[in-house]
Structure 1
Amino acid sequence: MKGIALALGLLCASFSIHATAQEYMFTYSKLYSSLKNNNKPEYPDVKVGVFFLNADTKQLCSIEKAWMEKEEHYELLESSPNNELLLPLDDNLKQANPLVFVDTPKDLRCDFSLVVMTRESLTGKVTYNDIEKLLPQMQDILESLGGMFSSWFTPEVAGVTLEFANNLSGVVSLSNGNSVQIVNGKAQVTLDEIGKEGWITLPEKTIRVLPYLPTAKK
């Protein structure tokens, strides 16, 4: 995991406390180097996302405001309903390399979080095949984020981590009669648990679906 940690370390944010928000600053080119994977046709179902996590609760922090600026140029950025920073990917912007600023709530310490995730939410009945097609794409992007030789030490993606809103409690039901607990809005399911002819049933739509890396060092 050292290669991945090094790659993500290049994206560390500087921040300062303001009267209304905690402000993080990045260079566009550093974010672009990871997010460029989102334009590759070999990843139709997964992408790289930028979020901020509450350092204490590990819940998603809200993005109060985000923008880019370079000299006299200024442009507001959007965020998704689940508080993903939506950064436009453009080679001209990469060359101009503006600064990217993100404001999060002032009373929280929010850590920068770069994740591999599905492009679409999952809901209802989700089959083995639906999950199986995601895993190679997730594996490839994780290895690309890790850089050279990362395939030697990137943990294997064995399944998915399902995240639900509002710290949902409950279970993910498996077609074989088993179930997986949802704890603090999260549940982890492997392909082996689902079985080749099986499926899972979700209690509600996910807000994020991330790789599950059971062999990763904690």
Structure 2
Amino acid sequence: MKKLSLAILTAALATTAAVPVYAQEYMFTYSKLYTHMKQNVKEGHDDVKIGFFFLDADTKQLCPIDKAWMEKEEHYEELKSSDYNELIVPLDNNLRQANPLVFVQTPQDRRCDFSMVVMTIEPFKGEVGYQEIEKLMPQMQAMLEDLGGMFASWFTPSVEGVTLEFANKLNSTIQFSNGDVKQIVDGKVQISLAEIGEGGFIRLPQETARVLPYLPKGK
């Protein structure tokens, strides 16, 4: 029954509506973001989390966040973004009850779409072994299904590996312990657990920007 496309799954998960105030400014309610962020502290999600990003509609590259903040009446608090353009929003039940508005500004010359992803908490670097990736896969699967709701397990594609993303549209290679090589094209490469082989590992040319699920049957 796992026959919905990844595009449909993504649409089903991204239930937070971003309302463009003008072309490069977006507005959310904190409570909507909180609904998804609370998955980050759920038992069994030790190594993965929900991340918030903005994706260039044309290039599919991550958009930089120029400015982000929360406000409610006279209260105002700036929000930070990571080195890899992840919007960092604090998880706080008091904020959920106050429900401030969250604003995000992206570059005016780019059309950026809100993107919510399942990703690892820590980046990959150096050599990454089969077992390290293997333990992530059920966590990613569970988080995708939790986000999808009651019947998500029926149509959520199976996680079969990881999608590695690197900064600056890196073009390089991934080295496998069995001697195989795989190309990184424009900063992205998809690797299944089966390609690594039990007891094997991969060697990365640099630290990852994001590690996402690989859902080959969700294309």
Picking from 22, 29, 32, the partner of 2:31 is 29
Secondary structure at the residue paired with 2:69? strand
What amino acid maps onto 1:61 in structure 2?
C
Deviations 1:137-162 (A, max 9, x none): 00000001111110010000000000
Superposed structure 1 runs of 4+ greater than 6 Å apart: none
Deviations 1:174-213 (A, max 9, x none): 1111111101100100000000011000011001000000
List aligned pairs for 1:32-43, cutoff 5 A: 32-43=34-45
What amino acid maps onto 1:213 in structure 2?
L
For structure 1, the residue ranges without an aligned partner over 5 or more in a row are: none
**What's 2:107 paired with?**
105
**What's 1:143 paired with?**
145
**What's 1:85 paired with?**
87
**What's 1:95 paired with?**
97
CA–CA separation in structure 1 for the residues paired with 2:197 and 2:174 = 14
Secondary structure at the residue paired with 1:210? strand
List aligned pairs for 1:115-194, cutoff 5 A: 115-194=117-196
CA–CA separation in structure 1 for the residues paired with 2:32 and 2:91 = 12
CA–CA separation in structure 1 for the residues paired with 2:204 and 2:9 = 34
What amino acid maps onto 1:113 in structure 2?
S
Secondary structure at the residue paired with 1:215? helix
**Would the aligned equivalents of 1:4 and 1:145 in 2 still touch at CA under 8 Å?**
no
Secondary structure at the residue paired with 2:144? helix
CA–CA separation in structure 1 for the residues paired with 2:57 and 2:83 = 20
**What's 2:61 paired with?**
59
TM-score (norm 2): 0.94
For structure 2, the residue ranges without an aligned partner over 5 or more in a row are: none
TM-score (norm 1): 0.94
CA–CA separation in structure 2 for the residues paired with 1:7 and 1:182 = 27
**What's 1:16 paired with?**
21
Shift of 1:5: 2.4
Identity %: 62
What amino acid maps onto 2:12 in structure 1?
L
Shift of 1:39: 1.5
CA–CA separation in structure 2 for the residues paired with 1:63 and 1:158 = 31
Shift of 1:63: 0.5
Secondary structure at the residue paired with 1:44? coil
**What's 2:12 paired with?**
6
**What's 1:207 paired with?**
209
RMSD over aligned Cα, in angstroms? 1.2
Aligned pairs, how many?
213
